[in-house]
């Protein structure tokens, strides 16, 4: 029997719409959903490797219970009944002894996140946390400080831009299909691309202007751009006078930050900085200073992200075609969104979160996501109270939170570690129980509410039956919940039941998704009237002078602190990604592993020469908290102060044989330091020595 199924990819978290062709119960072909503009049938390399992931036997094939020491890799197979019983009874003991808040759950935000949040809310634990803070916590806080909206509520109108500035936002190697293709279309139509990064990437190779900035100094560049824009009155005066709160404060603040000053700090010639400011002004408001996706580099991250957003405001490119915009939900089109289990009534939770997000100790990070990198500290110091169990759902704290050695010590203090994943991830390997989830091709998932200029709903729909003894994540949590007496919060038996419950009252039916794989609330792009922009800040304006920051005791415009160059022959470690892998999750996928099986350490040719390091030679990388070995990639295309490695390699899980022990994990080397205001880790604030072997 042949069939075609519209669904959503999940080789990364972007969830591009796909069409899956099934022949005799096997996935025969995957392509992008041709009905979706910007996708038009295309599929990225990771999406193209979906079939090789599905039919790879090095995935977790049944529930497993640990028999040896944690991390020893000794497992016994268990039935679902036994595994769920085991997890349920262990959790029950822990909750009886230590209270519900001693149970934490971490995950990469996904379509069933409302289910895992429900699980903890029903238990009475505030300790749900997501990968988001590790990626963009400070971007989120920066957006709220200026607009009153989170970063997830802001979008970028690539297709009609005239000039886009990217601060290391490596669009052509991160590959969200729609983003790549709409930007490519804009470039074909004559848009300009300015790319700023200490390292040359594929995106740099497509740019009209490339600056190899001194690592860590983007904020100095932005202050100089603002200086020029204000001095030469290059801003959108009408928009700014109507919508900006704190322009005069900004003007006074950036007065000393001249382009000549920035040239010394950043290495970018003053004249070129002035030129960019003038060019952006000429094309305003259809210009974009891209505020980033991952925004987790330095301790002052929130101010860097705020400065980018402020540049957009100065150009009037907020809620403008070819600029940035606010995402519209179903309500904006007179519709109703899908229901979430979190809309139920839950018992009140008195305990503070383990990371204290949203309290006076850590006021500004978004408690909806928490602050993941605090987890090791909270566990090791029992601050604010003992945590005893962790459920890791498709997120790997060992490879995502900086300083793996310390994170492992924290895990060693826990009575129970459970992983829900499709892979032998490193956290799965270090768990007591692995509960394998069905892959995206083998399961129906919760509704994707896709807010944007045209609000829509998408559906991930099961294409084939699970190959192994695996379950849907939302069903796994429901079954554990039943053992803990909270089964009533999960009013479904199957994913199909849950989706049907979600779309009640939206006016759409399951059949509506059959036609194109999605449903739309309207047909026109919705832009707000620029005379009536509904900013959600106390002043109802874009707050350069931020009440969110100042009410919490932080400055809106703190003095710039010069970025220190690494001393004693060391380097600043910077990290990033390639088109072939998604974070820590795809390194063992056969076709992706074949093309990229390990990471290398990019090091500047001159610096490498001084150290006697030859291309492709093994070197040792040492920081204050860890060390490891990796091959050197000697190149002119990285700034001399920096070394670079791809994130996500150096896996320790033995059964993922292709990725086991290949390359080096950045998290092993990175120090667990972070932006204390915005909440992001400072992944680029670790200095390392590089020693030839």
Out of 47, 316, 330, 337, point to the residue binding other proteins (CB under 8 A).
47
Q: Which stretch binds other proteins (CB under 8 A): 48-56, 76-84, 384-392, 530-538?
A: 48-56
Question: Which strands form 448-450's sheet, in the order they lie side by side?
Answer: 448-450, 456-458, 518-520
Minimal distance, residue 8 CB to other proteins, in Å: 16
Q: Which of 88, 522, 590, 676 binds other proteins (CB under 8 A)?
A: 590
| ∠ CA 543-314-300, rounded to 5° | 60
Counting residues that bind other proteins (by CB under 8 A) gives 41
Q: How far is the CB of 430 from other proteins (least distance, A)?
A: 28
- Residue 189: how many CB atoms within 10 A of its CB? 11
User: Is the C-alpha dihedral spanning 540, 542, 546, 548 positive or negative?
Assistant: positive
Nearest to 634 by CA among 605, 611, 609: 605
Does 44 sit near other proteins (CB under 8 A)? yes
For residue 525, the SS3 value is coil
Sheet containing 389-393: which strands, arranged edge to edge? 75-77, 64-66, 433-436, 416-421, 389-393, 103-107, 128-130
- Residues 6+ away with beta carbon under 8 Å from 81: none
H or E stretch covering 22: strand 17-23
Task: Tell me how far, at minimum, the Cβ of 587 lies from other proteins, in Å.
Answer: 15
> Does 168 sit near other proteins (CB under 8 A)?
no
The two tokens of residue 147 are 């607009």
- Comparing CB distances to other proteins, the nearer of 51 and 414 is 51
Nearer to other proteins, 510 or 595 (CB): 595
Closest distance to other proteins from the beta carbon of 636 (Å): 8
Of 276, 52, 212, the C-alpha closest to 641 is 212
Stretch that binds other proteins, among 146-154, 173-181, 280-288, 341-349 (CB under 8 A): 173-181
The minimum distance between CB 52 and other proteins, in angstroms, equals 6
- Shortest CB 577 distance to other proteins, Å: 12
Question: Minimum Å distance from CB 77 to other proteins?
Answer: 28
Percent helix, strand and coil across the chain, each to the nearest 5: 35, 20, 45
Q: Which residue has the tokens 């999960």?
A: 490
Residue in 172, 291, 375, 644 binding other proteins, rule: CB under 8 A: 172
Task: Let me know: does 631 contact 563? Beta carbons within 8 Å.
Answer: no
Helix (H) or strand (E) run with residue 479 in it: helix 473-483
Region of 47-55, 150-158, 483-491, 648-656 interacting with other proteins (CB under 8 A): 47-55
Closest separation in Å from C-beta 348 to other proteins: 49
Closest CA to 446 of 487, 490, 481: 490
Q: Which of residues 49-68 bind other proteins (CB under 8 A)?
A: 49, 51-52
**Binder to other proteins among 106, 146, 180, 341 (CB under 8 A)?**
180
Q: Which of 173, 383, 415, 512 binds other proteins (CB under 8 A)?
A: 173
The answer to whether 606 contacts other proteins (rule: CB under 8 A) is no
Q: Which is nearer to other proteins, 382 or 636 (CB)?
A: 636
Quote the CA–CA distance of 135 and 155 in Å, as a whole number.
17
Q: Which stretch binds other proteins (CB under 8 A): 1-9, 176-184, 309-317, 429-437?
A: 176-184
Residue 357 CB, shortest distance to other proteins, in Å, is 37
Shortest spacing between CB 247 and other proteins, in angstroms: 35
Q: Is 43 in the site for other proteins (CB under 8 A)?
A: yes
* Interface pick for other proteins out of 13, 48, 98, 689 (rule CB under 8 A): 48
Phi, psi torsion values for 380, nearest 5 degrees: -65, -35
Of the candidate residues 14, 139, 204, 226, the single one contacting other proteins (CB under 8 A) = 204
The enclosing H or E element of 194 equals strand 192-196
Nearest distance from C-beta of residue 118 to other proteins, angstroms: 37
Per CB under 8 A, the segment of 41-49, 232-240, 394-402, 617-625 that binds other proteins is 41-49
Asked if 556 and 549 touch (Cβ cutoff 8 Å), the reply is yes
Out of 592, 630, 653, 677, the residue judged to bind other proteins by CB under 8 A: 592
- 586, 52 contact by CB (below 8 A): no
CB of 180 to other proteins, least distance (A): 6
Which residue stretch of 30-38, 390-398, 499-507, 645-653 sits at the interface with other proteins (rule: CB under 8 A)?
A: 30-38
| Pairing assessment for the beta strands 433-436 and 416-421 based on DSSP bridges | parallel
Residue 7 interacting with other proteins (CB under 8 A): no
Give me the 206-245 binding string for other proteins, x by CB under 8 A, dash otherwise: xxxxx-----------------------------------
Distance, in Å, from the CA atom of 358 to the CA atom of 536, rounded to the nearest integer, reads 18
Residue 109: burial class (beta carbons within 10 Å; 0-12, 13-18, 19+):
middle
Stretch 629-688 residues interacting with other proteins (CB under 8 A): 636-637
Q: Quick one: tokens of 337?
A: 């969104």
**Would you state the structure tokens that stand for residue 77, as one six-digit string?**
């197979």
Query: Of 202-210, 248-256, 481-489, 667-675, which segment contacts other proteins by CB under 8 A?
Result: 202-210
Answer yes or no whether residue 272 interacts with other proteins by CB under 8 A: no
Q: Report 554-583 residues binding other proteins (CB under 8 A).
A: 579-580
Show the 3-state SS of 322-390. CCEEECECHHHHCCCCCCCHHHCCCCCCCCCCCCCECCCCECCCCCCCCCHHHHHHHHHHCCCCCCCEE
Give Cβ neighbours of residue 452 (< 8 Å, ≥ 6 apart).
155, 327, 328
One character per residue 125-164, x = contact with other proteins (rule: CB under 8 A): ----------------------------------------
Judged by CB under 8 A, does residue 184 bind other proteins? yes
What Cα–Cα distance (Å) separates residue 539 from each residue in 147, 312, 558? Answer: 10, 19, 21
Nearer to other proteins, 199 or 294 (CB): 199
Q: Considering only CA atoms, which of 302, 227, 245, 252 is closest in space to residue 545?
A: 245
465 binds other proteins (CB under 8 A): no
Q: Which stretch binds other proteins (CB under 8 A): 128-136, 171-179, 309-317, 469-477?
A: 171-179
Nearest distance, CB of residue 134 and other proteins, angstroms: 25
Instruction: Please say whether the beta carbons of 593 and 636 come within 8 A.
Output: no
Identify the residue among 92, 594, 610, 616 touching other proteins (CB under 8 A).
594
CA dihedral of residues 5, 11, 14, 17 (deg, nearest 10): -20
**String of contacts with other proteins for each residue 490-529, x by CB under 8 A:** ----------------------------------------
CB 502, CB 339: distance < 8 Å: yes
In DSSP notation, 569-604 reads T-EEEEEE--TT--TTTSTTSHHHHHH--S-EEEEE
Closest CA to 150 of 365, 448, 413, 374: 365
Binding residues vs other proteins (CB under 8 A): 29-32, 40-45, 47-49, 51-52, 172-173, 175, 177, 180-181, 184, 188, 200, 202, 204-210, 579-580, 590-592, 594-595, 636-637
């Amino acid at each position: 029997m042949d069939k075609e199924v519209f669904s959503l990819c999940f080789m990364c978290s972007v969830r591009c719409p796909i069409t899956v062709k099934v022949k005799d119960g096997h996935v025969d072909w995957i392509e992008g959903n041709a009905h979706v503009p910007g996708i038009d049938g295309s599929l990225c390399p990771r999406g193209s490797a979906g079939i090789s992931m599905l039919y790879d036997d090095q995935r977790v094939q049944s529930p497993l219970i640990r028999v040896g020491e944690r991390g020893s890799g000794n497992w016994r197979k268990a039935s679902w009944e036994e595994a769920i019983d085991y997890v349920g009874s262990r959790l029950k003991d822990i909750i009886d002894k230590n209270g519900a808040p001693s149970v934490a759950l971490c995950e990469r935000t996904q379509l069933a996140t409302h289910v895992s949040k429900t699980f903890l809310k029903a238990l009475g634990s505030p300790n749900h946390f997501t990968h988001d803070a590790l990626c963009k916590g400070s971007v989120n806080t920066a957006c709220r400080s200026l607009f009153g909206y989170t970063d997830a509520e802001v979008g970028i109108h690539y297709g009609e831009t005239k000039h886009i500035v990217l601060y290391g936002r490596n669009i052509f190697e991160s590959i969200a299909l729609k983003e790549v293709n709409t930007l490519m279309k804009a470039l074909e139509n004559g848009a300009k691309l300015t790319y700023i990064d200490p390292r040359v990437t594929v995106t740099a190779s497509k740019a009209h202007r490339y600056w190899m900035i001194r690592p860590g100094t983007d904020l100095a560049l932005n202050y100089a751009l603002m200086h020029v824009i204000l001095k030469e009155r290059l801003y959108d005066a009408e928009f700014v006078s109507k919508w900006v709160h704190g322009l005069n404060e900004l003007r006074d603040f950036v007065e000393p930050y001249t382009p000549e000053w920035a040239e010394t700090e950043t290495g970018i010639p003053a004249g070129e900085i002035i030129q960019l400011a003038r060019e952006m002004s000429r094309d305003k408001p259809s210009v974009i200073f891209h505020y980033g996706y991952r925004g987790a580099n330095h301790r002052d991250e929130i101010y860097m992200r705020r400065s980018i957003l402020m540049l957009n405001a100065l150009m009037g490119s907020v809620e403008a075609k070819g600029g940035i915009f606010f995402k519209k939900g179903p309500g904006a089109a007179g519709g109703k969104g899908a229901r979430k289990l979190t809309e139920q009534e839950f018992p009140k939770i008195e305990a503070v979160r383990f990371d204290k997000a949203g309290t006076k100790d850590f006021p500004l990070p978004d408690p909806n996501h928490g602050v993941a990198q605090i987890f090791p500290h909270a566990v090791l110091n029992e601050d604010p109270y003992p945590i005893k169990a962790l459920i890791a759902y498709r997120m790997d704290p060992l490879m995502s939170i900086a300083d793996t050695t310390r994170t492992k010590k924290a895990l060693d203090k826990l009575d129970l570690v459970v992983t829900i994943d499709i892979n032998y991830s490193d956290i799965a390997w270090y768990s007591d129980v692995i509960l394998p989830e069905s892959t995206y091709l083998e399961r129906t998932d919760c509704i994707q509410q896709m807010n944007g200029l045209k609000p829509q709903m998408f559906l991930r729909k099961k294409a084939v039956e699970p190959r192994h003894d695996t379950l849907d994540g939302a069903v796994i949590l429901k079954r554990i919940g039943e053992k803990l007496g909270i089964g009533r919060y999960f009013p479904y038996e199957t994913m199909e039941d849950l989706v049907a419950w979600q779309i009640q009252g939206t006016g759409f039916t399951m059949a509506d998704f059959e036609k194109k794989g999605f449903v739309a609330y309207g047909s026109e792009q919705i832009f707000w009237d620029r005379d009536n922009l509904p900013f959600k800040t106390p002043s109802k304006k874009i707050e350069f002078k931020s009440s969110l920051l100042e009410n919490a005791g932080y400055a809106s415009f703190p003095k710039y602190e010069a970025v220190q160059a690494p001393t004693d022959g060391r380097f600043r470690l910077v990290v990033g990604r390639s088109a072939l892998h998604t974070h820590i999750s795809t390194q063992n996928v056969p076709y992706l592993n074949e093309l990229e099986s390990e990471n290398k350490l990019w090091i500047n040719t001159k610096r490498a020469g001084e150290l006697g390091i030859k291309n492709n030679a093994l070197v040792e990388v040492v920081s204050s908290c860890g060390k490891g070995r990796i091959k050197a990639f000697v190149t002119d295309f990285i700034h001399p102060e920096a070394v670079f490695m791809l994130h996500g390699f150096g896996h320790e899980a033995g059964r993922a044989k292709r990725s086991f022990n290949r390359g080096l994990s950045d998290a092993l080397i990175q120090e667990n330091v972070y932006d204390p205001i915005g909440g992001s880790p400072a992944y680029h604030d670790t200095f390392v020595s590089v020693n030839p072997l």
